[in-house]
Amino acid sequence: MIENLGNEQRFLTRYWQKKPLLARGALAQLGAALDRSRMVALACRDDVESRLVLRTRNQWHVHQGPFRKRDFTQLPARNWTLLINGLENVICAARELQRMFSFIPYARHDDVMASYAAPGGSVGPHFDSYDVMLVQGIGERRWSISAQRDLALIEGAPLKLLRRFKPQRVCKVQCGDLLYLPPRYAHNGVAVTECITWSVGFRAPSRQEMAERFLDFVRDNLALSGNYRDPDIKSQRHPSLMPADMLRHVRGIVASIHWNKSDVEQALGEYLTEPRANIVFAPAAGITRQRFDAIAAANGVRLSAPSRMIIGNTRVYINGESSALEDAHRNTLLQLGDERVLPPRTRIDARLRELLYRWYLAGYIDTAGQKVR
């Protein structure tokens, strides 16, 4: 349980998607997990998403990474922020932070972001379309929040900044304090001192996006044969009119397209587990199936850091792909999905070992611990 967050179900009932919650000292252990030098080093990597936000009076400037270390030696003493997304893919502390919220389905988890801010640093007043847990690492930040309904944005700004922000509540947070904000809750955080703030986001796709992705799935899985034919066509007085027979024919084609619950699940599972755009999995090489079986039995296996995995009713989904889920494998794969690891000497039959080996070759799982010699 997260300190001072209270009973998890009570939090979900009283606060989740309803109202903010400030929990003092909820995650004090994060203070030493990240510092400026490590943030800068991460921002210089080309496999990490990073942005630099600077404010000069009322002007905002945004620069995209990767950066060079010398870029940070030329910055002013105040009013800038470095943002890094997808930290759960590159540092263990971020993955562990995300797992602290495992009482919320992984299907709703997005990513962990961290921001390093010099005094006065901010990304301006804005709102998110999803739930967010803001956890203070080092330093002190002042949050202004508002349940305002006016969410109009400043046109032409490099960030999605609220045109008229009207704070209703102000609080200062220190190391370990957690601020939960529901979707579309206006907020503005300003660094009082040099500080690092963690942000755990929970994805909330729009209805439009989910519908479009399902229709993409239906399109990709269509298998309709034949071509349009009209052997009994009549001579037309008005060739610009749409032929009634063609319209009836196409209505029949559309009406013949059907889907079921399994199709909806598969479309959703593959969509929700798609890796972030910058993620590249390194395929494994130079190991036979027999060697993998021996290593996995001795040391166990774990999901690779960027892997996303969800268990459905009839299929298992990993990194935008899916495989049939056998009843005999459900509990084992649930353990892997929930804990992201299978311990040594887990009982695994030949068919499941084959699936794990395919995932290993694709770079989706690693062998845990040291390899067998």
Cβ pair 283, 237 in contact under 8 A? no
pLDDT digits (tens, 9 = 90+) for 321-343: 999 999 999 999 999 999 999 99
Question: What is the pLDDT, as a whole number, of residue 124?
Answer: 97
Range of the domain at 60: 8-202
pTM over 0.75: yes
Give, in degrees to the nearest 5, the angle at Cα 106 between 100 and 111.
75
CATH number, domain containing residue 180 = 2.60.120.650
Would you say residue 299 lies in a domain?
yes
Q: How far is the first Cα of the chain from the last one, in angstroms, to the nearest whole number?
A: 40
Would you say residue 314 lies in a domain?
yes
Question: What is the pLDDT, as a whole number, of residue 373?
Answer: 33
Amino acid at 193: T
Based on the fold, state whether residues 196 and 307 are members of the same structural domain: no
Would you say residue 72 lies in a domain?
yes
The burial of 7, by beta-carbon neighbours within 10 Å (0-12 exposed, 13-18 middle, 19 or more buried), is given as exposed
Tally of structural domains, the chain: 2
Q: How far apart are CA 177 and CA 192, in angstroms?
A: 15
Would you say residue 144 lies in a domain?
yes
Question: What is the pLDDT, as a whole number, of residue 371?
Answer: 43
Q: Which residues pair with 153 in a beta bridge?
A: 162
Question: What is the pLDDT, as a whole number, of residue 33?
Answer: 86
What order of strands is seen across the sheet that includes strand 141-146? 169-173, 141-146, 186-191
Integer angstrom CA distances of residue 284 from 118, 148, 275, 287, 340 = 41, 51, 18, 8, 19
Regions of the chain with pLDDT less than 70: 1, 3-4, 6, 368-373
275-288 as b/e, with b when 16 or more CB fall inside 10 Å?
beeebeeeebeeee
Q: Which of 346, 288, 27 lies closest to 178, judged by CA?
A: 27
pLDDT digits (tens, 9 = 90+) for 5-32: 768 999 999 999 999 999 999 988 777 7
